[in-house]
Amino acid sequence: MKRNPLIEQRIEKVKELKDAGVNPYPYKFFKQYDIKYLLDNFEQFNETTQISTAGRIMFMRLMGKATFMHIADASAKMQIYCRVNELGKEIFEQIKKLDIGDIIGVTGVLFKTHSNEKTILVNKFELLSKSIRPLPEKFHGLKDTETRYRQRYVDLIMNDKVKELFYNRSKIIETIRKFLNSKNFLEVETPMMQTIPGGAAARPFITHHNTLDMDLYLRIAPELYLKRLLVGGFEKVYEINRNFRNEGISTKHNPEFTMLELYSAYDDYFDMMNICEQIFHEATKVVNNSDDVIYQGNNISLKPPFGRQTYFGALDKALNTDTRKLSETELKECCKKNHIELSANMSRIEMINELFEKLVEPTLIQPTFIYDYPIELSPLTKAHRSDNRLVERFELYVAATELANAYSELNDPLEQYNRFLEQQKIKEQTKTDEIFDKIDFDFLRALEYGMPPAGGLGIGIDRLVMLLTGAESIREVILFPQLRYEEFDDF
């Protein structure tokens, strides 16, 4: 138990308050107005109208018999003015004992200072919560990334831009919901804990249910459950929720991340392109009030229609050849030329994909749908209607990052079974975890009842928020990003 002396001082103050019969943590305060409302509607109040509001003290400028403070609430911050004339000596002394960080309620009238700043002249105040831990410095704020992520609450107190970002995140998701609801999509919730983690290829987190005595997996995707709902007769469904992938952490990856997945019966992947474009466009209009967004120095236009290139069209252009006609040796040479490390028994398709990631992805700055993927990469996608080496799939790239993924969904149960078996074979060869080998037979059974033709679309919400808010790291758009366990030795 070694406490910071600054905290010890404040704990002393709390004791003094309690001894004087003041509850430093009272139950209720009638907060009549948000601060932003007072600022925006300043003119409607005259200098005798009593108003009340509440907030956290962020600045204090104490003088002998008068004090200016800034208090901040969720909406804005505002100056308050306390004067011994209005409050009397005793109350004014109490005001002087307040600390930066304390949450107070104030009652008073509005006026403008000589420098024209909208201010509350306080005639009554109440301590609503005593802060015993000092806030960061008022001018430079909190900069340390580790503290910002670990103690997001302090980050939010100190950095208005962070608060604004999370308001925008909420607005983006709200916009998506409104848009989809207006198109008759039904929002649903499907299991986070699954017995067979499917719908993507990623290592899952494992947990255990005691009563059932069985292992469960946190979902890596909701896909297979949402498709079951198409079988059940819902024609347009979506889910915005967390996926969990037990993979590396980076500026673009958090172990739990938010995904929008939607499915629309009787549509194909081209329809998904349209919906995808509209969602991106609506969201950027709401957040940035514009069709454009500046991301990492690039001016990016999110006005539909987005660019469209086929997977091999883009790759052939980059390589200046017909990639599919290259022999295995030629492919290997091509990889070497482009500084791609070749691991032992790398398949053709793996080399092709490496080339794509290395040569094409970094060039995709403006929104671009890359479509018609090689069939080997997509076990849940319908084969291309006119080329059986391809599937009807697209990924949306913006700023060299994958932001969305969509298919004409495979609904042929026999074909789906074969594709699962193919995947199983590949997994066996590459010797990844055995859990991937499990085939979801209930999903196949559902398909056997008949799933309507459908388009499906997934959008990485965190990455969309990054794009629209200019965030360089996914941790900036997740309130509490995953960090290592922190040891406490000062409590």
Q: How many whole angstroms separate alpha carbon 245 and alpha carbon 253?
A: 9
Which residue shows structure tokens 């305060």? 29
The answer to the question of residue 346 lying near RNA (CB under 7 A) is no
The distance of closest approach from Cβ of residue 97 to RNA in the complex, given in angstroms and rounded to an integer, is 7
Q: Which of 72, 84, 302, 364 binds RNA (CB under 7 A)?
A: 84
Choose between 6 and 206: whose C-beta lies nearer to RNA.
6
Q: How many whole angstroms separate alpha carbon 437 and alpha carbon 331?
A: 30
Element (H, E) at 454: strand 454-460
Choose between 253 and 303: whose C-beta lies nearer to RNA.
253
Q: How many whole angstroms separate alpha carbon 397 and alpha carbon 363?
A: 10
The answer to the question of residue 378 lying near RNA (CB under 7 A) is yes
The distance of closest approach from Cβ of residue 335 to RNA in the complex, given in angstroms and rounded to an integer, is 12
Which residue shows structure tokens 């309690």? 18
The answer to the question of residue 147 lying near RNA (CB under 7 A) is yes
Q: Which of 18, 138, 389, 425 binds RNA (CB under 7 A)?
A: 138
The answer to the question of residue 68 lying near RNA (CB under 7 A) is yes
CA 419 to chain centre: 32
The answer to the question of residue 136 lying near RNA (CB under 7 A) is yes
The answer to the question of residue 473 lying near RNA (CB under 7 A) is yes
DSSP result, 120-149:
EEEEEEEEEE---SPPPPTTT----HHHHH
User: By CB under 7 A, which span of 145-153, 229-237, 299-307, 330-338 interacts with RNA?
Assistant: 145-153
Q: How many whole angstroms separate alpha carbon 279 and alpha carbon 298?
A: 21
Choose between 255 and 304: whose C-beta lies nearer to RNA.
255
Choose between 9 and 181: whose C-beta lies nearer to RNA.
9
Torsion angle in degrees (nearest 10) through CA of 115, 121, 125, 130: 0
The answer to the question of residue 153 lying near RNA (CB under 7 A) is no
Q: Are the C-beta atoms of 395 and 404 separated by less than 8 Å?
A: yes
The answer to the question of residue 192 lying near RNA (CB under 7 A) is no
The distance of closest approach from Cβ of residue 146 to RNA in the complex, given in angstroms and rounded to an integer, is 4
The answer to the question of residue 255 lying near RNA (CB under 7 A) is no
User: By CB under 7 A, which span of 1-9, 26-34, 44-52, 455-463 interacts with RNA?
Assistant: 1-9
The answer to the question of residue 114 lying near RNA (CB under 7 A) is yes
The distance of closest approach from Cβ of residue 416 to RNA in the complex, given in angstroms and rounded to an integer, is 12
Choose between 42 and 111: whose C-beta lies nearer to RNA.
111
Q: Are the C-beta atoms of 230 and 188 separated by less than 8 Å?
A: no
**Residues near 208 by beta carbon (within 8 Å), at least 6 away in sequence:** 214, 215, 216
For residue 303, give Cα distances in angstroms to 56, 278, 292: 41, 9, 7
Q: How many whole angstroms separate alpha carbon 295 and alpha carbon 305?
A: 19
Q: How many whole angstroms separate alpha carbon 475 and alpha carbon 145?
A: 10
Which residues here bind RNA, judged by CB under 7 A? 4-6, 9, 59-66, 68, 79, 81, 83-85, 99-100, 111, 113-115, 117, 119, 134-147, 149, 200-202, 245, 247-251, 253, 350, 353, 377-380, 472-473, 475, 481, 483-487
